Chains A and B, each alone.
Chain A
């Protein structure tokens, strides 16, 4: 059974700080990696995706991928109270057909 592991949190950071969210995955054949944000009672919203080793930046968000270590991370700079949500890491299986989700990390940003 392929797995995606995340620390459930809660991760608490003050407003303006950097939030660091981590994820490990078990399928060495996975080629694509995603971060979703889910507010309470709402559906997941895509915020970042990454396919190659290294960093990918989009505004205040940076996704980092290390395939050798099977590790994906998300950095949120200048955290805002509106960033308070559950962040889901997701990894496709080797065939690229099924997206496997971690259970999510809850982030709380205090003002």
Chain B
């Protein structure tokens, strides 16, 4: 069966520090991968998605970036965090377009 791993579960970072969140999927090949952010009291905002290695689509302009160095690995990064980057970051995968997405446990990021 397929599983998705996200880490760390919780992260506290100072403003201006870098960020790297990692997500890996097991038990499937060539998944579509997604990064979402959920700010307090707000809905899920799609940040990036990838349909293959090295293919990244950005949904919103921001100081974040994403990379997919391997088929089942998706990384969310920032060179300098802002206070507004606080939130609950979720990675998700799906087998193909229009198919259900399945979420990891998420990373709760607090910026001080």
A residues contacting B by CB (< 8 A) are 31-32, 34, 42-46, 49, 51, 88, 90, 92, 95-104
Contacts and interface: CB of A to CB of B under 8 A. Distances in A.
Contact of B105 (A43, A49, A99, A101): A43
Interface range, B side: 20 to 34
9 contacts: A43-B105, A43-B106, A51-B98, A97-B97, A101-B44, A101-B46, A102-B43, A103-B42, A103-B43
Contacts, number: 49
Interface string B75-100: 00000000000000010000001111
A34 B92 CA distance: 14
Contacts of A45: 103
Interface in B44-97: 44, 46, 49, 51, 57, 59, 90, 97
A97 B57 CA distance: 10
Given A32-B98, A43-B105, A98 B49 contact: yes
